[in-house]
Structure 1
Amino acid sequence: MAEAEAGREGGESTLTVLVALGANAAIGVLKLIAGLLTGSAAMLAEAAHSAADTATEGLLLTALRRSSRAADRRHPFGYGKERFFWALIAAVSIFVSGAVFAIYEGIRTIVGEEAEQTAVLVAYVVLAISFVLEGISWTQAVRQLRREAAADELSPMEWLRRTDDPTVKTVFFEDSAALIGLLLAFAGVGLHQLTGSALYDGLASLLIGVLLTGVAYVLGRTNKGLLIGRQADPRLVRALRDDLGARPEVDAVVDLLTMMLGTDQVLLCARLDFDDALGAADLERTCVAIDADLRERFPDLAEIFLEPVPRSDPTMRERVLSRYGESTGLGRPTP
């Protein structure tokens, strides 16, 4: 059942990325034509924006395909983190392909010679069509975001902060930035037409570049944390601690380590102080039973390691306290 759910979510993520890819590719061509016809820096910046988004969607499709490969001898924990890696490259792509070009065009237009604006109607038509197409892609991203946030019993904004699925987050932020960028481009073209000054066109291009820089930074920071090895959702960590601590065979949960191996893939390492009355064979059977029960109750657990340790060991306790502090209750006897 967990595999079916993962497959459904992976299919929906693929659909979200494909919708965004098709929209951005079509929009990019239209913006480039409009930019060349009008000479608008804002339109050219938006064309670069769409080119960056199209490249990003291609990278995200690569991430979805490669991260789904099964574990093997060379990668015994699987390839789940490939999704984080390619999403990080996508964030870099947004900055290099979109933000840098937009900022360059804005500065060139502001400090350069005044250029005459032509075929303004073409720019307005392209911007309107682009807004509709981007809106379709954004709607698909929001639909998936809300569905997954509701399934996790979180608000959409909280889900975005906690999620380990960079594909949906990337498409949502990209499309949101694209809609804002289109409004900036419309304002730049319109003010240029009304005032006759290219300053507003260049300023719009600069603001689009700053917007893309912000999006690239947020996405890059998120994926950096996941690649380094982020802890699982705190709610899952607390549930695991409470579950293990409530077992009659366990006197104390000494340490609890979790790490995201991929989207909806969690590694768990639990150091437990077992009841001293358990013999070696009893301890082995208990560990097997705990493993099976945890996998059934928490489908996101991909790998589980259980290590018997004494809670009285000062070195172990110091290590735990240095990592989590006193507030976690780890290392204390179970009531």
Structure 2
Amino acid sequence: MSGTESEKRPEADRRTRVTVLVALAANLVIAVAKAVGGVAVGSPALLSEAAHSVADSFNEVFLLAALRRSRRPPDERHPFGYGKERFFWALLAAVGIFVMGGCFSVFQGIEALRNGAEEKLSGYVAGLIVLGVAFCAEGISLIRALHQVRREQRGLRDPALRTVVAEDGTAVLGVLLAIAGMALHMITGQVAWEASASLAIGALLVFVAYRLGADARDQLIGEAADPELSRRIRAQLAAESEIDSVEALLTMRTGLESTLVAARVDLVPGLDSERVEEVLVRIKRSLARTFSEADQIFLDVTDRSAHEAVESPAATGERGGA
């Protein structure tokens, strides 16, 4: 990885940490306000939104842990580094949204349909004021997150930033649903409107949790690099005069900005073992310079009958920065 790239990563992580902290502060304040208001006025929609904010608050703590732990350098037990910590904690955040937010909201909606909810005019007014303040706070946090997405080259590829955007966007929609449910309950006197809003919030949270969890799952089990990056790596390998053909190219993201590259190549005839080793070292270093994400590069020669078997750091693989 180049020096410029390694300097940019901590700065980008610092901005992401600030974004997560802004979202955490907003969710903590809003969660307390919604919970107090929901209990005081007996509003199922408001209680659902309180559960949503509590879930988001826990998730921000998970994301802060992801930012800190994923920066640890490789060691003997984890030679490819700790980059996938980001995806693990993002998966826990998705589970938190599902359990604490989605399931509780659905439960509140069902309970309201079964048992009803009695609210006075003052309760409606207080609840709507709380939701209005929550809408402003969540909106500010969402604008901050979207602004960073536009600034960052990696954008929504960062699971921490993607989770914050999803949480804040869902929170804004959830507040609008809760306001609509409370307003219609107040106008018609039918609790079904507010219960339906709570159920809709729950369904929205379950959907968002599923999408975030699916993304994290793909990364944890070993997702390939972006197809465009793979295409460019293959093209550079094929352009090397000593390479006759690229038999196979395998890639796997090992972190937010780190990728493992394993290529099986067939070299042109007539290269002796010493020349093969020199060629592989040069090609590997060229790839590492061109593609900063490729911090683990492995090259293997396929035609060992024409080219002597070479067991060297270049042939068996070493860190891209070497």
TM-score normalised by structure 1 residue count = 0.87
**1:77 match:** 80
Write the distance in 2 (CA, Å) between the matches of 1:185 and 1:312.
Answer: 71
Q: Alpha-carbon deviation of 1:312? A: 11
Write the distance in 1 (CA, Å) between the matches of 2:5 and 2:273.
Answer: 33
Where do 4+ consecutive residues of structure 1 move more than 4 Å?
A: none
**1:258 match:** 251
Aligned 8 A contact 1:64 1:83 in 2: yes
In structure 1, which of residues 282, 296, 304 is the aligned counterpart of residue 297 of structure 2? 304
**1:3 match:** 6
Write the distance in 2 (CA, Å) between the matches of 1:114 and 1:239.
Answer: 61
Write the distance in 1 (CA, Å) between the matches of 2:22 and 2:271.
Answer: 57
2:7 counterpart SS class: helix
1:135-180 residue CA offsets vs partner (Å, 9 max, x unmatched): 11101111122223xx46xxxxxx65xx2x2111111111110000
**1:188 match:** 181
Write the distance in 2 (CA, Å) between the matches of 1:205 and 1:190.
Answer: 13
Aligned 8 A contact 1:81 1:262 in 2: yes
Aligned pairs, how many?
A: 302
**2:269 match:** 276
Q: Given the superposition, is the C-alpha separation of residues 43 and 114 from structure 1 closer, same or farther in structure 2, using an over 3 Å criterion? A: closer
Matched ranges for 1:164-203 at <5 A: 165-203=158-196
In structure 2, which of residues 18, 22, 34 is the aligned counterpart of residue 19 of structure 1? 22
In structure 2, which of residues 60, 65, 88 is the aligned counterpart of residue 62 of structure 1? 65
| Pair 1:31 & 2:24 matched | no
What RMSD, in angstroms, separates the aligned Cα atoms of the two structures?
1.6
Write the distance in 2 (CA, Å) between the matches of 1:5 and 1:310.
Answer: 41
Write the distance in 2 (CA, Å) between the matches of 1:22 and 1:311.
Answer: 61
1:277 counterpart SS class: coil
Q: Given the superposition, is the C-alpha separation of residues 114 and 7 from structure 1 closer, same or farther in structure 2, using an over 3 Å criterion? A: closer
**1:133 match:** 137
Which blocks of at least 5 consecutive residues in structure 2 are unaligned? 307-322
Write the distance in 2 (CA, Å) between the matches of 1:246 and 1:191.
Answer: 66
**2:320 match:** none
**1:46 match:** 49
TM-score normalised by structure 2 residue count = 0.91
Aligned 8 A contact 2:42 2:117 in 1: no
1:119 counterpart SS class: helix
